[in-house]
Each structure stands twice: as structure tokens, then as C-alpha cells.
A and B are shown apart, each in its own frame.
Chain A
Amino acid sequence: GENVEQHPSTLSVQEGDSAVIKCTYSDSASNYFPWYKQELGKRPQLIIDIRSNVGEKKDQRIAVTLNKTAKHFSLHITETQPEDSAVYFCAARYYGQNFVFGPGTRLSVLP
């Protein structure tokens, strides 16, 4: 079955710097890759996603890139702000199958 690894487990950046979180997946059949942000005590919220027929997607300060050959995808956050501090989860899914989540990355944006 699918296995998703995520690095780093914790990440601290200065406000205004960029943050990058990387995930790798094992099943080449996976074709949908969402990213969720979970603030303390709250539910995970979908922030961006990418499908396997697209290499990159951008939404304001966040972007996701996908390398199908290498089976890895990354979340990029530019001009980080304190409100970006949260735990971020990546996931991989083949249509109709379950989401397989990475273990999460705790991002801290230092003022």
C-alpha cells in the first residue's frame, strides 16, 4: 500500500523567510496530493492541492510542486507570517482509495 514520508518534522523560520516542506510517496498510482494546515486545537484545513497531471500550483504565498518521476511533492510558503505557524500534513491518494497522510511538520515562524 501507499506510504508517505514527510520532512522535516519541525521547522523554524524567521518571519518573512520562506519555508519548504517535502513529502515522498511510494505508490506511483497515486494521483491526488493535498496539503492540510492544522492550528493548535483545531481541525486540519485543506490549503492547497495538486493533481498528477500538473507540475506546479500556486495560491498567493503558497505553492505546491510535484515530481511524479521521483515521487515527491513539496509545499512552499513565501514571506512567512506568524499566522503560518501550525502543523502541516501532506497526503497522497489514488481516486477512490483512502488518503494516506504524512506524519506532519510543525512550522514555527519566529517574529
Chain B
Amino acid sequence: DIQMTQSPSTLSASVGDRVTITCRASQSISSWLAWYQQKSGKAPKLLIYKASNLESGVPSRFSGSGSGTEFTLTISSLQPDDFATYYCQQYSSYSRTFGQGTKVDIK
């Protein structure tokens, strides 16, 4: 199975900060990567698909980049609504593994 490793596990930041989360795959997944946001007690929400495509309705402060084995999710200016946990997921193989998550909390 393809392993997905996110870093950091926790990130403390302030409103207005630029935030970057990294996701690494154990083998090449081309651009078959999605990013999700999850708030406590809620279902995940799709933010980015195919590594860099912004899902409809998602604010433009979110962006994704990367291909192969290394990917990043960037929030250009953190807003109060963005404090949440973020997950990457590969869909290169039928075993759709997730990263372990990155919790973004208030500094």
C-alpha cells in the first residue's frame, strides 16, 4: 500500500498567517491527491483535487501544489474559519490511503 506522511502533525498559527502543510507519498502518485478539511464532529470537506485544482466554492486563499511524491497545501492568509484538521488522500491506487492529519490551532 502507498503510505502518506503529513507534516507537521500540529501547527499553531495566528489569523493572517501564511500556512503550509506537506504531504509525502511513499511512491509516485502523479497528481492523484486530494486535500480535505475536517472540523470537530463534522464530515470532511473537499478543498483541492488532483493536487492543485480548487474545488468549487472553496475560498481562493487555499491552494495546492506538487506532483510525484511531494505535495503542499497552502493557506495564504489564515482566517478564523480555517482552524481545523487537514488531511491529504492519494487516489492513485484502489487502496485510498490518507495522511495522518495536520491540526491547525490558534497560537
Is B one of A's binding partners? no
What residues make up the interface of A, taking CB atoms closer than 8 Å to B? none
